């Protein structure tokens, strides 16, 4: 029986829900650790995906592989060192996605190595986990693009000199439009694609190494 053309989209949904949950929870947890409990008070320091979904970002991520969630509220004036700590909060989200992608990819390799799921109800489990790993990696690298409102911009702001105020103001005002144009033109895919593929190849190598490590030696 031929596979439905909607199958890739369906397989992305669990990865998307996990990805935005991990991403936004990491932002909220880091902000909380650095002194700002705004996200915690608003119920955003949770792994519950429905608390973080942005409809447009969800559609973009499922259809194109690049998207975003509803940003976690952070009050920089409640942080101990606003400029530096905002960069830490921003980086926490992509970093959490990279760790999640690594874990999911390793688990996928181990399942392929040690379990036989064909003909069972779990036959799509490796595909779901593998797709979720790729979605998390894509979400991480996409959000590291240094254009507002993405996390990469808040990280870059730490290193922008005060004299570049005009550039910062322009990007803050038009960054979202620029980002949409870059996604629509395919430029984002050209830039992010090799980074995601390279990272996932490293994750696969780690999974293969572990599968050989745990595979019993037969004499």
Q: pLDDT digit string (tens) for 169-216?
A: 888 888 889 988 988 898 988 999 999 999 999 999 999 988 888 765
Structural domain includes residue 73 = yes
Structural domain includes residue 217 = no
| Residue 163 vs residue 185, higher pLDDT | 185
pLDDT surpassing 60 at residue 3? no
Structural domain includes residue 180 = yes
Which of 26-30, 31-35, 59-63 shows the lowest per-residue confidence on average (mean pLDDT)? 59-63
Which one of the listed residues 24, 48, 169, 172 is annotated catalytic? 24
Domain range holding 133?
Answer: 7-209
Whole-angstrom distance, CA of residue 12 vs CA of residue 17? 9
Whole-angstrom distance, CA of residue 1 vs CA of residue 143? 38
Given this model, what pLDDT does residue 118 score?
Answer: 73
What would the mean pLDDT of 59-72 be, rounded to a whole number?
A: 74
Q: How confident is the model at residue 1 (pLDDT cuts 50, 70, 90)?
A: very low
Structural domain includes residue 214 = no
Structural domain includes residue 1 = no
What would the mean pLDDT of 34-50 be, rounded to a whole number?
A: 93
Active site residue 24: yes
Nearest-5° Cα angle at 26, 122 to 102: 45
Tell me whether residue 150 is exposed, middle or buried, using C-beta atoms within 10 angstroms of its C-beta: 0 to 12, 13 to 18, 19 or more: buried
Structural domain includes residue 47 = yes
How many domains does the chain divide into? Answer: 1
Q: How confident is the model at residue 119 (pLDDT cuts 50, 70, 90)?
A: low
For residue 10, the 8-state DSSP code is H
Whole-angstrom distance, CA of residue 49 vs CA of residue 16? 9
pLDDT surpassing 80 at residue 14? yes
């Amino acid at each position: 029986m031929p596979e439905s053309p909607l199958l890739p989209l369906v397989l992305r949904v669990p990865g998307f829900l996990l990805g935005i949950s991990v991403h936004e929870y990491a932002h909220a947890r880091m902000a909380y650790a650095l002194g700002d409990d705004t996200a915690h008070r608003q119920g955003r320091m949770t792994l519950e995906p429905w608390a973080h979904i942005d409809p447009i970002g969800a559609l973009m991520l499922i259809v194109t592989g690049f998207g975003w969630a509803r940003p976690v509220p952070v009050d920089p004036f409640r942080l101990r060192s606003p400029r530096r700590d905002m960069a830490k909060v921003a980086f926490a989200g992509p970093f959490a996605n990279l760790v999640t992608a690594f874990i999911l990819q390793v688990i996928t390799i181990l399942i392929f190595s040690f379990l036989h799921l064909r003909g069972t109800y779990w036959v799509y489990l490796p595909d779901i986990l593998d797709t979720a790993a790729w979605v998390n990696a894509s979400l991480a690298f996409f959000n590291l693009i240094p254009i507002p409102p993405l996390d990469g911009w808040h990280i870059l702001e730490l290193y922008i000199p005060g004299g570049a105020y005009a550039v910062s103001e322009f990007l803050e005002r038009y960054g979202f439009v620029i980002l949409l144009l870059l996604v629509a033109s395919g430029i984002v895919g050209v830039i992010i694609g090799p980074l995601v593929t390279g990272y996932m190849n490293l994750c696969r190598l780690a999974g293969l190494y572990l599968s050989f490590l745990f595979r019993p030696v037969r004499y």
